[in-house]
A and B are shown apart, each in its own frame.
Chain A
C-alpha cells in the first residue's frame, strides 16, 4: 500500500511536469509577444524591450521553464497583467464561492444520483425505472446554461421565490448563503445526478443478479438489507469512479454556472482572464486544477480498497 502510494506520487510528478510544459508553452506559443500584450497597445518598442528583459523572455526556453517552475514551487504563480496583483492571491479571493458551489453540488448529486440509481435498479423495468431513465436522459442532454436560464425564469423571475443571481459569502449568514446557492447548485447538479444515477443503476443491476444476492434472500434478509448492505457495497467501485470523474470534471460546469448566475468565483476569474488575455492567471488556475484532478484520481483509486477487500495495492 505504501509502496503503491509512493509509486503513484512519482507518476503524479511526471503528469504534473507534462501539464507544466503544456501550460508553459501555451503562453510562449500563443500568437503575439507576451511582452507586447503586457505593455499594452500604446507601448513603445523600448518599453516592450524593458519588459522582455525584466521577465527574462530573452533567455532560452528551457531556462525560462525551469525558472517558472521554481517560482511556482516557492509559491509565486506570477502577477496578474490586468490587476497587477499576485495570481495566487486573486485565486484565493475567489475560492470560497467556487468551493461552496462545488461541494454543495457534489453532495446533492451523489445522494440524489445514487438513490435514484438504486431505486431504478430495484424496480428495473417498472414505472419508477422508466421515469428515472427519462429524467436521466433529459438531465444529460440539456446544456447547463439552458437549465440555468430555465430555472431562473421559473423560480426567480416568475415565482420570485429565489434570487436571480449573485452570491453571499457564508460569513454573512448560512441562510442567505444557502438561498443564493440553490439555483446554481440545481443547475449544475442535474447533469451529474443523471450521470451518477445511470452508472449506479447499471452497476446495481449487475450486482442484483449475482448468486450471493440469492444467498442473502435465502437467509431471510429484508429488501433494505439486500439493497443497501449486500448490493450497494459491491456496486461501489464503478459508482466511486463516476463520482471522482464528476467531481474532477466539475470545473467546466462551474465556469458556465458562475457566468450564468454572476457568481464571483474561480470560474469567472478564468473567463475574465481569458477575455483580458491575462496569461499568468490562466496558467495558475490550469496548474492548480490539474493538480486537483490528479489528486482526486489518486483518492478514488485508494478508496476502492474500502469497498472491495479483494483490491489490494
Chain B
C-alpha cells in the first residue's frame, strides 16, 4: 500500500443506477432517480446543483448514513474496492466509514461533539480503525492538526469545539476525516457556512492535502466557482438525476444542458461589468413526490419541445467524455 498511487484511470468508486427514496406520512419522495457516475483514484469530482437536487443524498447513500426510519436506497450498486457497499453488513460498513471513505460536512459549528475535546474526537477516528493506544492516537491527532495548519496544535488538541472558530472547526473536521488516510474524501459543501475569506483558505487546504495524500475527493457544492478552482471533472445534478457530466474545462467551454447554462449565467462575473440583476432560471424545481413524465427540467427550459415533455432523456455522450441528458444537447451546446 506504500506504492505511489498514480493518477491513472483506475476506477475507485463506481455508482450504478443509485436510487434513494424518502418516505413521508403519505408520500414517497424519489430523491435519487437512478444515478450513475465514477470517481477515479486521486481525482477531484465536483457535484453541482441547487439545494434539494440530491447532492447530499448521494453522499449519504454511498456511506449508508441516511436516517433509517425515513429513507432507503431502493436500487443500484455502489462498487468500491471490488465490492458493493450496499450489500455489506453494518459491521463491514463501519470498517469503511472514516477509514477508506471519510466525509466532512457543511456545518462545522454543529458537526463536532460539544462535550469532548477536538483531540479526543480526532483520536477516536484513529482508534476505531487502528490498534493505536490512547496516547498514540492523541499524538496522531496533534500531528493531524498541524497538517491542517492549525497553529499551536499542542494546545489546540485540548480545546473543546466551542473554544474554536468556525474555520478552525472545519480544519479539525478535515483532520478527523484524514485520520486514516482515506482513499475517498466526500466533502459536502464544506465551505458554505464559512466567511468568504475563510472559504478560500479551506478550499486551498483541501486542494493541497489532496495533492499531498493522493486521496480522491468528491466535492459537493452549489458554487460553480468552487468547482472551477478545485475539480477535474463535474457532474451536474437536477431533480435527483445527473443532467450533465464532463471535465471542468469542457463543461465551462461547452455547457450542453440548458440547466448548466442557466447555472453559469447566474454566477456573478466581474468581467461582464456591473449588472443590475443576475439572470435567474425561471420557474421552480419540480416536486419529486409524483413521477415525472419527460424531462424534469422541461417546464423551466427555454429549449423545450414536445419530445421533452413526453420522454425522459437519458445521459448520453455528446462529445467524447462529455455527457448530457438533453434531447437537444447538440443545439444547446452551440447556442
- A contacts, CB < 8 Å to B: 124-125, 210-212, 214-222, 225, 230, 233-234, 236, 307-310
Contacts and interface: CB of A to CB of B under 8 A. Distances in A.
A217 B103 CA distance: 10
A211 B98 CA distance: 16
A191 B107 CA distance: 40
Q: For chain B, which range describes its interface: under 10, 10 to 19, 20 to 34, or 35 or more residues? A: 20 to 34
B52 interface: no
A310 B99 contact: no
A225 B129 CA distance: 14
A219 B115 contact: no
A83 B146 CA distance: 75
A221 B65 contact: no
Nearest to B161: A212
Interface in B101-121: 102-103, 105, 107, 110-116
A19 B171 CA distance: 54
A219 B127 CA distance: 10
Nearest to B103: A218
Given A308-B115, A309-B160, A310-B162, A215 B129 contact: no
Nearest to B115: A233
Given A220-B98, A220-B125, A222-B94, A215 B113 contact: yes
B162 A220 contact: no
A220 B113 contact: no
Nearest to B96: A220
Given A212-B113, A214-B105, A222-B94, 10 more contacts: A124-B69, A211-B105, A214-B65, A215-B176, A218-B63, A218-B105, A219-B124, A219-B176, A220-B99, A225-B128
A307 B115 contact: yes
Given A211-B110, A212-B114, A310-B114, A220 B128 contact: yes
Contact of B95 (A212, A214, A220, A230): A220
Nearest to B95: A220
Contacts of B115: 233-234, 236, 307-309
A230 B120 CA distance: 12
B128 A219 contact: yes
Given A215-B173, A309-B160, A221 B114 contact: no
Contacts of B173: 215
Contacts of A217: 65, 97
Interface string B124-158: 11001100000000000000000000000000000
A211 B65 contact: no
B114 A215 contact: no
Contacts of B99: 220
Contacts of A124: 69
A128 to B, nearest CB: 14
B97 A219 contact: yes
A215 B111 contact: yes
- The interface centre, meaning the residue of A210, A211, A220 with most chain B CB atoms within 10 A of its CB, is A220
Contacts of A308: 114-115
B96 to A, nearest CB: 7
Interface in B52-70: 63, 65, 69
A218 B113 contact: no
B176 A234 contact: no
Contacts of B105: 211, 214-215, 218
A220 B94 contact: yes
Nearest to B186: A218
Contacts of A233: 115-116
A219 B98 contact: yes
Nearest to A237: B115
Nearest to A216: B113
Nearest to A126: B69
- The interface centre, meaning the residue of A125, A219, A234, A310 with most chain B CB atoms within 10 A of its CB, is A219
Contact of B112 (A212, A221, A309): A212
Contacts of B69: 124-125
A124 B67 CA distance: 12
A232 to B, nearest CB: 10
B293 to A, nearest CB: 35
A237 to B, nearest CB: 10
Interface string B61-93: 001010001000000000000000000000000
B116 to A, nearest CB: 8
A218 B104 CA distance: 9
A125 B25 CA distance: 14
A230 B113 contact: yes
Contacts of A236: 115
A212 B96 CA distance: 19
A234 B112 CA distance: 12
A219 B102 CA distance: 7
A257 to B, nearest CB: 36
Nearest to B128: A220
Interface in B258-273: none
Interface string B36-55: 00000000000000000000
A233 B78 CA distance: 35
Contact of A220 (B97, B110, B112): B97
B110 A212 contact: yes
Interface in B175-207: 176
A240 to B, nearest CB: 13
A210 B124 CA distance: 18
Contact of A234 (B65, B113, B124): B113
Contacts of A210: 110
Contacts of A212: 110-114
Contact of A218 (B65, B110, B112): B65
Given A211-B105, A211-B107, A310-B160, A219 B125 contact: yes
